[in-house]
Amino acid sequence: FTRRFELADHMTVTGASLNNGLLTIDLVREVPEEMKPRRIAIAKQGGAPKAGQVEKPKQAA
């Protein structure tokens, strides 16, 4: 008989073996560099205002 599997993107088969009726398939996920998450540093320029509470000025009645 024949059995087919559709693998996810960027999956490759590196090996397969059949022992005592058990099929073992070795898979590797290879994500291209442009799809890997990356860290971007954000530089701090000048002094940012400190966080604080701003109160509304009172109006005369």
pLDDT tens digit string along 5-56?
A: 899 888 999 999 999 999 999 999 988 888 888 888 888 876 666 666 777 7
Phi and psi angles of residue 35, each rounded to the nearest 5 degrees, phi first: -100, -10
Residue 36: inside a domain: no
Which amino acid appears at position 56 of this protein? K
Residue 57: inside a domain: no
Residue 24: inside a domain: yes
Number of independent structural domains in the chain:
1
**Range of the structural domain that residue 2 is part of:** 1-31
* Residue 48: per-residue pLDDT: 60
Model confidence, pTM: 0.47
User: Tokens for 18?
Assistant: 């059949």
Residue 20: inside a domain: yes
End-to-end CA distance of the chain: 90
Q: Are 28 and 9 in contact (CB under 8 A)?
A: no
